[in-house]
Each structure stands twice: as structure tokens, then as C-alpha cells.
Amino acid sequence: MINALKAVIWKDIIMEYKTKQMTSSMLVFSGLVIVIFGFAFELSIEVLHKVLPGMIWVAMIFSSILGLNRSFMLEKNNDCMQGMLLLPCDRTIIFLGKFCANFLFVLLTQIIIVPGFFVFFDYRFQGGLGLLVLILLVGTIGFIAIGTFLAALASNSRMSDMLLPIILFPITVPLIIAGVQSTSLIFQGQGFDAISQWFYLMLVFDVIFLVIPYMLFDYVMEV
Amino acid sequence: MNQNYLLGKRHNILGWTTFFLVCISLYMIFIVTPTDVRLGIVQKIFYFHVASAWNAFFAFFIVFLTSIMYLVKRDRKYDVIAVASAEIGVIFTTIVLTTGPIWGRSSWNAWWVWEPRLTTTLILWFIYIAYIMIRMSDMEWEKKSRLSAVFGIIGFIDVPIVFMAIRWWNTKLHPVVFGEGTDQTGGGLDTIMLYTLILSVFTFTALYFYLLQKGIAIGNMRNKVDEIKDNFKNAI
């Protein structure tokens, strides 16, 4: 089972390494988000203090939609999905593998883009760096978990790139609220106590939306 | 061959019952119940607002149940019920979202407040619009039923989390402005008002079942037509 999981993740990583489609488009898109926000708002330091947390999350969410859409559409070419379904193991492995791979790619983009926000807006970050990393990690896990699942669901339709944002955004509302709120608390220099409530909410969201897709993935992947 | 795309006698009885219930409710709401002292005539919208809100939640709960039943039993009848119920639920949520601001404008002096109940209803509306989008996408019916059942389950589970998140977000931003009572007018309800409210909720529930029967019949008819079309294609 572990081997199968490794194989699925490795396949995605190799494919990404050769084509660099997902990460490059996500990176370029997030960069453009920075540019557009730079023009869209008159950003003084006080305003920045308030809107930067939201901007980071918006960039993360919209750019990962691009990646999530690709992740299952890719398998449509040459009927690759058929091949994956023939894996001699539980089908939820496909979900877990795809989830890990997507998470890795989004993480990669974030490692470059979040400092990018600080650099381009000349923002001196003074909160706890560890906390910021923790919150971004937990938030991304939840978003990618339900995102991967719904991407698999939407990939059955020909208009999946339109369908995915519409079905994904309402479901992830709690995560977005919790993420933006806790990030903005961290930016104000608050400690873990202040964000613990949001942190636990995100944790609960993560657990629920890792377990439920795990249970329902078989139904999505049926032929 | 099932003939349940034909509406029977029971449907007629339910239809007439609903009709009389609606008449009585309207009479109760507009003639019998006194006008609210502070809010005036606008308060009458409350009976429609609460009743549709209750029905919307009930309809989505039915979607949740029938979605699970469909995944377990794989009987197409559950799928038909789920779709009909989701459509009615969206209509009722739309009623809630239109009557809400009208009422809110006169009682809170604001069209919209980002308050937990309102915002959750809005998100709920979006979730079930998404559900209907999945229904409308281009897939074979088996796939479509399966996927929308899965989404129906996920969407319903998400609602309490959305509510919690918005509630916390709201209290973090500004203090709770409105009373915590069910009617949000802050005070208790007059007895006659309460009876009218219960009656209107009951009436709307009857209306829900009436519409549901119609929806199921239409769904069955649609399936039947598809079946005939397929047979016809195969014959050629």
C-alpha cells in the first residue's frame, strides 16, 4: 500500500519535473496576483497591514485552482485514468497520492510567493514566523484535500474547469475565514493563544475533509 | 414498468389540503394577527421568511438522506427525489434571501448584515446552486447521480462548519448587535403570532411535499422520455 502510494506520488512528481506545467503556471499566476493587487489598491503601510493576509490567501486559493484542475484533466489524455484505476490496490490510494502531489506543488509555489508578497510590498513582517508557516500549512492541507477530491469529481464533466471553482469555493468558506483571520492575527504579532480557536477549526476541517473524501472516493472513481 | 410519473389521487388531495392551508394561513397572517407595534406591517414578512427558511433546511436534509440512500441502494428513485428536493430547497432559500433584506431594511435599517445566520444561508444557496450545476453538466445519468449524491453529502456536512466559522468571525469583528432569540426582534412573540407562525411553517411544509411530488413526477417523466429516446435511437 505504501509502495502504491509512493508510485502515484512519484509518477506525478516525475511528470511535473518533465513538463513543469502546474508549478510554473501557478507561480506566474500568483506573481500576477501580486502585480494586480499592487495596482488595484493604494497600499499604505496601515492598509497593507489589514489586507495583506487576505491577499496571500486569495493568491493561494486562485492559483491552486489552476493546479487542481490540471491534476485530473492530465489523466484524461490517452486514457491514463483507466490505467490508474487498474492499480492493484485500494482506489483511495489514488486520492491520497494525488493529494500529496498537489500539496507538494502548492507548497512549492507558496515558499516562493509568500516571501514575494513581503518583498514586493516592502512589508516588514514582525509576527511569529513559525505560526505563519503552521497556519499556511494547515490551511493548505485542508484546501488541497477537498480540492483534490472535488477536482476528481469535476473531471468527469467536460466543463470541469468551470465547474471546479463553483463547487469548491462555497465548501471551503470556513477554511478561508479561519485562514484569513488567523493570518491577520499573526500579522498583528499575536501568539498562539489568540489564534488557537481558528487553528482548531482548521484542524477539524482538515480531518473531516480528509476522512470523508477517503470514504467517498470509491464512488467518484467508479467506472 | 412503473407508472409513477402519473400523479394520482393522493396528489390531488394533498394539493387541495395545501390550498386550504394557504388560505387559512393568509387569513391568519393578514387579518387575525395584530400588526407588530414597533415594526409595523413589514413584520408580516416574518411568517413567510421563517417558514421558507425551515423548509429550505428540511429540503437539503432530504437531499442529504436520499443521497446516502442512493449510494447504498443504487435505486434511481432516490436520485429523482434528491434532485427535486434540491431544486425546491434552492427556491425556498431564494425566497429567504429576498424576503430577508426587505425585512432587515425596515427592522435593522440595513439591507444586509454579515451575520452568521444570513451568511450561512447565502453560502448554503451557493452550495446547492453548485449541486444543480453538477446536475446540469454533460454526463451519463449514472455518473451524474453518483457524483451529485457525493456532493450532496459533502455539502450538507459542510453547513455546520460554515455556521461556526462565520459565527466566530462575526463576533471577532463587531459585537453581537441583535437579540439571540429565534425571531431576532429581541422580545418574545405574542401567542397568536406564535400560532400563526407554526401554522405557516406547517403550510409551507405541505407546499414542499406538494412540489416534491410534482418534481418527482417530472423527474420520472424525464427519465421515461430519455429511455424512449434511447430505444428509438437503438431501433434506428
Q: How do the domains of chain A map onto residue ranges? A: 2-222
| Residue A57 and residue A202 in contact, taking contact as beta carbons nearer than 8 Å | no
How confident is the model over B101-122, as pLDDT tens digits? 888 887 777 888 787 778 888 9
Q: Is A5 on the interface with B (CB under 8 A)?
A: no
Q: Across the interface, do B157 and A181 touch by the CB < 8 Å criterion?
A: no
More confident residue, A32 or B37: A32
What is the rounded CA–CA span in Å between residue A45 and residue A35? 17
Give the side-chain half-sphere CA count within 13 A for B183: 19
pLDDT of residue B108: 76
| Residue B16 and residue B232 in contact, taking contact as beta carbons nearer than 8 Å | no
Q: Across the interface, do A177 and B127 touch by the CB < 8 Å criterion?
A: no
Q: How far is B188 from chain A (nearest CA, A)?
A: 32
Average pLDDT on B171-200 reads 62
Q: What is the pTM of this model?
A: 0.87
- Rounded to two decimals, the ipTM of the complex is 0.87
Q: Which of A163, A198, A204 sits opposite B133 (nearest CB)?
A: A163
How confident is the model over A62-97, as pLDDT tens digits? 999 999 988 888 888 888 888 888 888 888 888 999
pLDDT of residue B109: 79
| Residue B89 and residue B60 in contact, taking contact as beta carbons nearer than 8 Å | yes
Average pLDDT on A96-111 reads 93
pLDDT of residue B178: 45
Q: How far is CA B41 from CA A121, B35, B38, B45, B193, in A?
A: 53, 6, 9, 8, 13
pLDDT of residue A109: 92
Q: Where are the beta strands (DSSP E) in A50-181?
A: none
Contacts of A198 in chain B (CB under 8 A): 168
Contacts of A157 in chain B (CB under 8 A): 134, 137-139
pLDDT of residue B150: 93
Q: Is B130 on the interface with A (CB under 8 A)?
A: yes
Q: Across the interface, do B165 and A173 touch by the CB < 8 Å criterion?
A: yes
Q: How far is CA A217 from CA A91, A99, A159, B11, B74, in A?
A: 7, 12, 20, 38, 16
Q: Across the interface, do A158 and B138 touch by the CB < 8 Å criterion?
A: yes
For residue A121, name the pLDDT band (cuts at 50, 70, 90): confident
Does the pLDDT of residue B177 top 60, yes or no? Answer: no
Q: How do the domains of chain B map onto residue ranges? A: 14-222
3-state secondary structure A66-83: HHHHHHHHHHHHHHHHHH
What is the rounded CA–CA span in Å between residue A81 and residue A97? 13
Q: What is the mean pLDDT of chain B?
A: 84
Does the pLDDT of residue B205 top 80, yes or no? Answer: yes
Q: Across the interface, do A166 and B146 touch by the CB < 8 Å criterion?
A: no
For residue A42, name the pLDDT band (cuts at 50, 70, 90): confident
Least confident of A53-67, A200-214, B72-86, B110-124: B110-124
Which among A135, A134, A201 is positioned nearest to A172, based on CA atoms?
A: A201
How confident is the model over A145-185, as pLDDT tens digits? 999 999 999 988 888 888 999 999 999 999 999 999 899 88
Q: What is the dihedral of CA A191, A192, A193, A196, to 10 degrees?
A: 140
